[in-house]
Structure 1
């Protein structure tokens, strides 16, 4: 059984990209421009899925690379294999900047501001510090703790980022709440660790049989304060 939500969380941790920041939309727009510049009629959504599931997701389980390098390497492989495109170094290097400059979802800033009045907030991200620093500013600097894979030399679903933030905050797993959209890198680790987990299912996905069930599921962040009982002014 998933760990129940605490009456009063002592720490609320977030995945950033896909949960708080519309990284998928920004990357698809970048890819659309890349294909258009080559007059190539490519189904961007289908290519994106092949890149993510076939190249990027396996890479987070492999040898650690800084996230800008991981993006560039996996995208170069996918473009060559799936679209017959050789991308230049500038196009590949721009991927990290696209991630950094992606905009928050409309419900992110206000929800973080409200929750931050009640409990410390943290983000643990499969990204890179110079990328997430830009995103954090776009989100209104709401976090007490900001950690990326660089801090531990590993990416989620490795347990190291979760252990790091819990240790720094001095809380037990059941006293925290983790909020995330990924059933591939977040839920498979936070749920078995006993961290009450809220799945932000923005894409309307079906939960895979192999993914541990979260404590709760929401379609976006708007219902999160009420779910956590943190709607009153602090």
Structure 2
């Protein structure tokens, strides 16, 4: 059984990309441009899924690479194997900048502001510090703690990032709440560790049989303050 939500969390941790920042949309737009420049028709959404599940996800389980390098390496492999494209070094290097410059979802900034008035916030991210620093500014710099994979030499779902943020904040797993979109790298670790977990299911996914069930599920962030007993976010929150 998933750990119940605390009456009042002492820490709220967030995954950033896909949960707070529309990284998927930004990357798909970048890929559309890449294919269009070559006058090559492609189902970008299908290519994106093949890249993510066939190349990027396996890479986060493998030998640690800085995230910009991981993006460039896996995308180069996917483009060559799936589309017959040899990408230029500059196109691959730009992927980290695309990630950094991606916009917040419409509900992110105001929800974080409301929650941060009551509880310390943190983010643990499969990214890189120079990338997430840009994203944090776009989100209004709401985080007391910011940790990326390079801090521990491992990416989620490894437990090291979760242990690091809990240790630095001085809270027990059941006293925190983890908020995340990914059922591939977040839920498989936070739930078994006994961290109450809210799945932000923006894509309307079905939970895989092998993914542990979260404590709660929401379609976006707007209901999160009320769910946690920390107020109610206004409808139509702006970026």
Normalised by the length of structure 2, the TM-score is 0.96
In structure 2, how many angstroms separate the alpha carbons of the residues matched to 1:46 and 1:208? 19
Query: 1:126 offset after TM fit, Å?
Result: 0.1
| In 1: Cα distance, 2:58 partner to 2:21 partner | 22
Question: What pairs up with 1:13-28 in 2 under 5 angstroms?
Answer: 13-28=13-28
| CA shift digits 1:57-95 (9 cap, x unpaired) | 000000000000000000000000000000000000000
Alignment of 1:143-158 (within 5 A): 143-158=143-158
Separation in 1 of the partners of 2:48 and 2:126? 18
| Structure-1 residue corresponding to 2:4 | 4
Distance 1:41 1:188 in 2: 36
Distance 2:114 2:35 in 1: 40
Residue in structure 2 matched with residue 94 of structure 1 by the alignment: 94
| Alignment root-mean-square deviation, CA | 1.9
Shift of 1:225: 0.3
Q: Distance in 2 between matches of 1:98 and 1:157?
A: 23
Q: Distance in 2 between matches of 1:207 and 1:30?
A: 28
1:17-51: CA deviation from partner (whole Å, max 9, x where unpaired): 00000000000000000000000000000000000
Partner residue, 2:198: 198
- Structure 1 segments, 4+ long, off by >2 Å, are none
State the 1:5 CA deviation.
0.1
* Aligned-pair CA distance for 1:120: 0.2
Q: Is 1:168 matched up with 2:168? A: yes
Residue 162 (structure 1) shift: 0.1
**Per-residue CA distance 1:168-208 (angstroms, 9 max, x = gap):** 00000000000000000000000000000000000000000
SS at match of 1:106: coil
TM superposition shift of 1:108:
0.1
Deviation digits for residues 191-233 of structure 1 (CA, Å, limit 9, x no counterpart): 0000000000000000000000000000000000000000xx9
> Which residue matches 1:220?
220
Tell me the distance in 1 between the aligned counterparts of 2:86 and 2:162. 37
1:1-234 maps to which residues of 2 (within 5 A)? 1-230=1-230
- List runs of 5+ in structure 2 lacking aligned partners: 231-237
**Secondary structure of the corresponding residue to residue 19 of structure 2:** coil
Say which SS state the counterpart of residue 174 (structure 1) adopts: helix
